[in-house]
């Protein structure tokens, strides 16, 4: 158990719909990272939050948004879903001292299937 | 940005065999992690190893930061070792985000 909690574990929805994925970081970790793992794309960084503020952005689609709340949990919102959004979405957290030396710990992922 | 290359892409072993997985990276780093993604999709931390050698049971890892590579050794492989092994290093900028290699898919046959 990494200490990072993600819900839901599985989600099946239809094209055009909107879903919200939730992540609770490890106790004491201020940074939350979101990654997408598609079959043909590997693990791709989407976005990072540090203590409530957006810190880094990857190839995140405009249809996707995220936020980190005062209690440090984070949500990833995916809207106008397309078939190609089907993927495993991971959340990770770290202490992140800002020196690139923090160890990242991953949740079990949310598997999204868009039909 | 930094590039991460893993080899081999695929590996099939008989139970009990040993193997070495390699991770090359294109720029100097002060952090490197190895992960195992099991068949259920879970990403499990194996090693945090910016330099030097670490051992954990049948697994060990060595990172030679000056030569920009890391090796993961699996000895006496078991079927439960099957899955995908990823190495990951920080991208540029002090955000802590990791860039992943494409992984090595390991299948251990009984």
CB atoms within 10 A of CB A65: 14
**Closest Cα in chain A, distance from residue B84 (Å):** 11
Average pLDDT of chain A is 93
Q: Which residue in the set A42, A88, A103 is minimally distant from B41, CB to CB?
A: A88
pLDDT less than 70: residues of chain B: none
CB B32 within 8 A of CB B88: yes
- The pLDDT of residue A98 is 67
- The pLDDT of residue A1 is 86
pLDDT digits (tens, 9 = 90+) for A80-96: 999 999 999 999 999 87
Specify burial of residue A12 (Cβ count, 10 A radius: 0-12, 13-18, 19+).
Answer: exposed
Is the pLDDT at A100 greater than 90? The verdict is no
Specify the DSSP element, H or E, that contains A45: strand A42-50
**Which band of pLDDT confidence, cut at 50, 70 and 90, is reported for residue A31?**
very high
Enumerate the H helices of A6-111 as residue ranges.
none
- The pLDDT of residue B97 is 86
Chain B residues with CB under 8 Å of A106 CB are: 35, 43, 45
- Report DSSP state, residue B81: G
Residues constituting chain A: 115
Return d(Cα A19, Cα B75) in angstroms, integer.
43
Distance of CA B29 to the CA centre of its chain: 15
What mean pLDDT is predicted for residues A45-56?
93
CB-based contact, B20 to chain A, within 8 Å: no
- The pLDDT of residue A97 is 62
**Cβ contact, residue pair A42, B100, below 8 Å:** yes
Mutation to test the A interface, candidates B33, B45, B54, B95, most A Cβ within 10 Å: B95
Chain A residues with CB under 8 Å of B5 CB are: none
């Amino acid at each position: 158990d990494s200490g990072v909690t993600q819900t839901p574990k599985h989600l099946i929805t239809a094209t055009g719909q909107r879903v919200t994925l939730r992540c609770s970081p490890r106790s004491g970790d201020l940074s939350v990272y979101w990654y997408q793992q598609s079959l043909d794309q590997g693990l791709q960084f989407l976005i990072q939050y540090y203590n409530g503020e957006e810190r880094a952005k990857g190839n995140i689609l405009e249809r996707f948004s995220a936020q980190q709340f005062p209690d440090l949990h984070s949500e990833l919102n995916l809207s106008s879903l397309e078939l190609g959004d089907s993927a495993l979405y991971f959340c990770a957290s770290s202490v992140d001292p800002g020196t690139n030396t923090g160890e990242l710990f991953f949740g079990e992922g949310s598997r999204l299937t868009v039909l | 940005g930094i590039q991460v290359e893993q080899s081999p892409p695929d590996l099939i072993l008989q139970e009990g065999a040993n193997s070495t997985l390699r991770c090359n990276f294109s720029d100097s780093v002060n952090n490197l992690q190895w992960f195992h993604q099991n068949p259920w999709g879970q990403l499990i931390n194996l090693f945090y190893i910016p330099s030097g050698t670490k051992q954990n049971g049948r697994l060990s890892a060595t990172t030679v930061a000056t030569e920009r590579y890391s090796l993961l050794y699996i000895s006496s492989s078991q079927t439960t070792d099957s899955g995908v092994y990823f190495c990951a290093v920080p991208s540029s900028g002090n955000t802590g985000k990791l860039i992943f290699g494409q992984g090595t898919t390991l299948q251990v046959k009984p």
